[in-house]
Structures are given as C-alpha cells and as structure tokens.
Amino acid sequence: MEETYLLNVEGVKKKILHGGRGELPKLQDGSKITFHFQTLKDDFERTVIDDSRDAGIPMEIIVGKMFKLEIWETLLSSMRIGEVAEFWCDTIHTGMYALVSRGMRRIAEGRDPLEGQKHRCGMGNMFDYHSTGYDDLDELQRTPQPLIFIMELFRVEEPSAYKRDTWAMSKEEKLAAVPVLHSEGNRLVLRKEFAQAAAKYQEAVICLRNLQAKEKPWEDGWLKLESLVTPLVLNYCQCQLELGEYYEVLEHTTELLQKHNDNAKAYFKRAKAHAAVWNEREAREDFLRVAHLDPSMAAAVKKELKQLGERMRKKHVEDRKRYQGLFQSPQGQ
C-alpha cells in the first residue's frame, strides 16, 4: 500500500508495505514480540544504520520490560502478524536509539552489552555514554535526527505460551518457578537424565541468585533465599558427579562451604570429587569431616574410605609397573 498515514502518536508516520493477517494482536505485560527490523537515516540515500537480518536472527522484546526505545512497542502494537511496515519517527522518539543499537551490536559480536557502563546516575552517565564505540552511532548522539524503521512482525506470544527467560521474569514469577524447576529436576534424576536435570537445578539457582542480588547479604531476606539455593546446588553437584564433571563439583561445593562450613552433604560430594581425581589427602579430610559433622553418615563414610584405599593401592601398583617398564632395557640389548 502506498498510502502514508499517521498513527495516533505525535511524530510518527506509518506506511504498510505488505499487509498482515488476522486481527491486531493483544499485547500485555510479558508478551514476547519477535520481528525483523531495519533502521535507516531519513536522508536522500536512506542510509542503513542497522539490519537485524545481518545478525541472522530476529529481534525479540518483552512487553513492559522497559525496553529503552519505548516507541518500538507502540509501532509493533499497530501491526498484524506477517505485516511489513515502514515507520518514520521524529527526533522526540529516537534520542535513545544509539544506546539501543550499541547494545544490540555488542550482543551480535558476542560481547557484553553493558560493557563499560557504570552504575551511576544523572550527569555521571552522560560521561559514560560520551562514545558508543561506533562512529555512526556517536554521530546520532551528537546530532539527534528522525529515523525510519522498517519492521516485519513474525509472532506475538502470550506470557504463558513460551518459556520465559529468567531475566524477563518478575520476582513473583521467579519464586513460583523455583519449586517447579526443582520438581522437574528430581523427575529427570529418577530417569537418569542427569544433564537435563542439572540444567533445571541450575535455572532454579539463577532465579534465586537474581533475587538475592537485591537483598543485603546475611539479612533475613537473603538467608531465606539462601536456604532454597543450597539444596539445589547440592542436587546440581550430584548430577555433575554422575556425569563425571568432578572439577565442576569441586568448584561449586567449595563455594558453598565458604558460606556454610558445617554442611556435611557438601563435604561428602566434594570428597567424592576429590577421590575421583586422585586427591587422596583432600578426599580423606573431607570424608572425616562428614563423619564428625553427621554421625549418621559414618557408615557411608567408612564405605567410601575403604573404596578410596583400594583404588589408591591399585593405582600405586599400576604406577610402579609403568615406571619399571620405562627403565627396563629392551631384551637383546
């Protein structure tokens, strides 16, 4: 369609290039919008600034999650599925585009989109954003100007229709997700699908750690969340033991014990990991610590120490044979 018409928004014009299908999607907080976009200057050459197709994957935004370029939600809300439209947006809507583009480009380059940002506010951030690291975006910052966005809308998914990324969840959603993920992990363990179970436990831990970051360490809110984190980390470590990822277990149990040095189960899992990588002294120390902290585990510790002793004796015998073979002269020489 060639006709250009105004949206009911100041400083925006829309031209439909290809009609969509169905009714206008109903957007709500948490809806995920998937689309391709192209950003152009409003000059004679219509200079291309960004094109999501160059990255090979469509753009996704979550409605209501304070995406820096708020006008995009407005533009997309006027489109039907499959529609391609061109939007002219005046300077009042495009002032933040350089920062948005910088983040998207860094993600496409495999870099941290927040790299270089400091947690400051007010005038301080003006100095942090003095240069974006891209000449064309620096120009946009120095000289704000109207931009043209060409968008193709692929789909709109309701919050319940897709797996929410952890960062996109509210506090309540994260708390509600944790027991579900914990239960799914336990179910996968029973089926001996340890890699999949570990991923569930890890996702639950990430939800809780994100919430913990907003609490003061060792205060009531933080401790309550920590009490939920600990069993999930232990379950994750058990899966890693089953998968033979012993150094992963050593890393996570050691980190846990730095905060909770009386956790017998953490010592037990760390001891098993030490034993698996032939750290005999460390394994024995951890096993003995387990028996001291939790006498009910004494029988299990005794069994593990016996197995450790047998494995180490066998290894010493094999090592001696191998070393003897190195120093024996070949027959006939």
Per-residue pLDDT tens digits for 237-262: 999 999 999 999 999 999 999 999 99
What number of CA atoms fall less than 13 Å from residue 33's CA on the CB side?
29
**What pLDDT tens digit does each residue of the chain (333 aa) get?**
445 666 778 899 999 999 899 888 888 777 888 999 999 999 999 999 999 888 777 888 878 765 667 889 889 999 999 999 999 999 999 888 888 888 778 766 665 444 544 433 433 343 344 677 888 888 888 888 999 999 999 989 887 655 666 666 777 778 888 888 899 999 999 999 999 999 999 988 988 988 888 888 889 999 999 999 999 999 999 999 999 999 999 999 999 999 999 999 999 999 999 999 989 999 999 999 999 999 999 999 999 999 988 988 888 887 777 777 665 555 544
Return the CATH number of the domain spanning residue range 171-326.
1.25.40.10
d(CA 53, CA 37): 8
* DSSP symbol at 3: -
Give residue 68's pLDDT.
65
* Tens digit of each residue's pLDDT (9 = 90 or more) over 10-47: 899 999 999 899 888 888 777 888 999 999 999 999 99
Q: Which residues pair with 59 in a beta bridge?
A: 35
40 strand-pairing partners: 48, 148
Q: What pLDDT is recorded for position 160?
A: 61
Domain with CATH 1.25.40.10 in the chain: 171-326
Strand ranges (E), 79-217: 84-89, 147-157
Sign of CA dihedral 119, 94, 112, 168: positive
Model-wide pTM > 0.75? no
Whole-number Å distance between alpha carbons of 104 and 123 = 24
Cβ-based neighbour number of residue 251 at 10 Å: 15
| CATH 3.10.50.40, the chain: domain bounds | 4-157
Q: Spelled out in words, what is the top-level CATH class assigned to the domain 4-157?
A: alpha beta
pLDDT, position 121:
40
